[in-house]
């Protein structure tokens, strides 16, 4: 069977997750895209001091510290881009130019213009692209979407979303590139707000217009080595009120400075017959309320995911045994494999660009003091 040569750029948090996904996708999912090809870990790119060691650990054939060489390498068919956000644009373009498929982490880029550029390049190249909105892959989320689309909670009337972490909550945390517009672009909106937008779109459709505020909670941070303090140039938090194209109203709250929250990404969807609630911090659970039957036994149901929620069963035949974060990436990888095998990519650059438009619209509204911004 044909091999699909994998090139991985970046070996941090997301790099390792990509590597594990490539290692496991066939073993877990069987023939997901595998009728065409079996992933083969061909080439890994990192800094010269790390590349060889990590390649050995992750099981790649070879290592390099030259990402352009990786993009051009004939053994590479698909490039995983897991570097800091500011590098995505350049690397994705290079990979596409070399005729490679691209699996790129989110957000796509620092600016909307870069993201548009990437989507255009993908179209020209005719290669498969995928952006890493991995929470879309959680069987609990997928099932929530299915229930909503099947009308189990009736007509959807309101969306409430939240995404909070505390990685920038500590006032004494040192200043880093994350605080700099030129290196990080947006702050919480890019890092985590984009995930929330990805979930919202899947449930209630496109955002039509919004009004928003942003907040930089910690305005300066100490520079490393006691060299004074530097400004935080992007937002720690944002609040948004949305109108979706279908008439649903909604709101979103976003913070990277919310003490105690580690991966709190979730939503409530209100319908005329019921409600669905999800939170990634309990990623194997879904809450469902339906107004039916005797009032005396109505209540929110806590549904534990299991084989009834595909593709959970590919990981474990026993319900309630719990999938983990890394396994979401395996499911995403399977979707990418299927796209390479000819199915439609469900979160390609064109699709992910729509998410970028929303987070940049939030920033635009906030900079204009909460003025309405339309997305068409």
Residues 124-163 contacting a copy of itself, CB under 8 A: 143, 147, 152-154, 157-158, 160, 162
- Rounded Cα distance, 132 and 18, in Å: 10
- Rounded Cα distance, 264 and 165, in Å: 6
Contact 137, 21 (CB under 8 A): no
Task: Considering only residues 58 through 87, tell me which ones interact with a copy of itself, judged by CB under 8 A.
Answer: 58-59
8-state DSSP, 286: E
Task: Considering only residues 273 through 292, tell me which ones interact with a copy of itself, judged by CB under 8 A.
Answer: 273-275, 280-284, 286, 288-291
Among 35, 326, 344, 374, binds a copy of itself (CB under 8 A): 326
Contact status: 13 vs a copy of itself (CB under 8 A): yes
Contact 223, 253 (CB under 8 A): no
Contact 130, 157 (CB under 8 A): no
Place of tokens 């990786």: 70
Task: Considering only residues 189 through 218, tell me which ones interact with a copy of itself, judged by CB under 8 A.
Answer: 211-213, 215, 217-218
Strand order in the sheet with 373-374: 285-290, 274-279, 264-271, 156-164, 249-255, 237-244, 207-215, 373-374
Contact status: 55 vs a copy of itself (CB under 8 A): no
DSSP H or E stretch at residue 108: none
Contact status: 237 vs a copy of itself (CB under 8 A): yes
Task: Considering only residues 351 through 370, tell me which ones interact with a copy of itself, judged by CB under 8 A.
Answer: 369-370
> Which of 160, 354 has the CB closer to a copy of itself?
160
The three-state secondary structure class of 59 is: coil
Contact status: 316 vs a copy of itself (CB under 8 A): yes
> Which of 65, 263 has the CB closer to a copy of itself?
263
The 3-state secondary structure of 178-216, one letter per residue: HHCHHHHCCCHHHHHHHHHHHHHHHHHCCEEEEEEEEEC
Among 87, 181, 304, 350, binds a copy of itself (CB under 8 A): 304
Residue 164 CB, nearest approach to a copy of itself (Å): 8
Residue 334 CB, nearest approach to a copy of itself (Å): 13
Among 107, 132, 266, 271, binds a copy of itself (CB under 8 A): 271
Nearest-Å Rg of the Cα atoms of the chain is 21
Contact status: 182 vs a copy of itself (CB under 8 A): no
> Which of 92, 314 has the CB closer to a copy of itself?
314
Residues constituting the chain: 376
Residue 353 CB, nearest approach to a copy of itself (Å): 25
Contact status: 30 vs a copy of itself (CB under 8 A): yes
Contact status: 259 vs a copy of itself (CB under 8 A): yes
Among 19, 95, 196, 355, binds a copy of itself (CB under 8 A): 19
Number of residues that bind a copy of itself (CB under 8 A): 101
Contact 105, 81 (CB under 8 A): yes
Contact status: 184 vs a copy of itself (CB under 8 A): no
Task: Considering only residues 329 through 348, tell me which ones interact with a copy of itself, judged by CB under 8 A.
Answer: none
- Rounded Cα distance, 134 and 330, in Å: 9
Contact 152, 274 (CB under 8 A): yes
Residue 197 CB, nearest approach to a copy of itself (Å): 16
Q: What is the dihedral angle through the alpha carbons of 325, 330, 332, 336, rounded to the nearest 10 degrees?
A: 160
Among 315, 336, 361, 362, binds a copy of itself (CB under 8 A): 315
Contact status: 28 vs a copy of itself (CB under 8 A): yes
> Which of 92, 211 has the CB closer to a copy of itself?
211
Q: Beta strand pairing status for 237-244 and 207-215?
A: antiparallel
């Amino acid at each position: 069977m044909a091999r699909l040569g994998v090139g991985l750029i970046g070996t941090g948090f997301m790099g390792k997750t990509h590597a594990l996904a490539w290692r496991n996708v066939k073993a877990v999912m069987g023939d997901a895209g595998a009728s065409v090809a079996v992933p083969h870990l061909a080439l890994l790119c990192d800094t010269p001091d790390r590349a060889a060691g990590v390649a050995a650990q992750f099981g790649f054939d070879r290592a390099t510290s030259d990402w352009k060489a990786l993009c051009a390498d004939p053994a590479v068919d698909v490039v995983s881009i897991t570097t800091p956000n500011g590098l995505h644009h350049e690397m994705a373009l290079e990979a596409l130019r070399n005729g490679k498929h691209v699996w790129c982490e989110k957000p796509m880029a620092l600016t909307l213009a870069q993201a548009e550029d990437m989507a255009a390049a993908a179209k020209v190249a005719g290669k498969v692209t995928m952006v890493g909105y991995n929470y879309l892959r959680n069987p609990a989320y997928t099932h929530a979407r299915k229930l909503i689309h099947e009308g189990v909670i009736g007509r959807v009337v309101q969306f409430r979303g939240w995404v909070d972490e505390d990685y920038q909550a500590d006032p004494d945390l040192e200043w880093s590139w994350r605080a700099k517009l030129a290196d990080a672009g947006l702050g919480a909106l890019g890092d985590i707000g984009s995930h929330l937008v990805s979930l919202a779109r899947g449930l209630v459709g496109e955002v039509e217009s919004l009004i928003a505020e942003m907040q930089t909670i910690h305005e300066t941070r100490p520079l490393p080595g006691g060299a004074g303090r530097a400004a935080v140039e992007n937002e720690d938090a944002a609040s948004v009120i949305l109108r979706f194209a279908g008439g649903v109203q909604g709101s979103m709250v976003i913070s990277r400075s919310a003490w105690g929250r580690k991966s709190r990404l979730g939503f409530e969807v209100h319908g005329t017959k019921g409600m669905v609630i999800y939170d990634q911090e309990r990623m194997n659970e879904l809450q469902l309320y339906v107004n039916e039957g005797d009032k005396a036994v109505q209540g929110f149901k806590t549904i534990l995911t299991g084989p009834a929620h595909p593709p959970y069963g590919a990981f474990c035949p026993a319900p309630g045994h719990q999938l983990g974060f890394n396994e979401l990436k395996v499911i995403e990888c399977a979707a990418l494999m299927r796209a390479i095998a000819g199915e439609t990519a469900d979160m390609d650059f064109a699709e992910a660009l729509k998410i970028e438009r929303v987070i940049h619209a939030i920033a635009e509204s906030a900079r204009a003091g909460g003025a309405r911004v339309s997305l068409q």
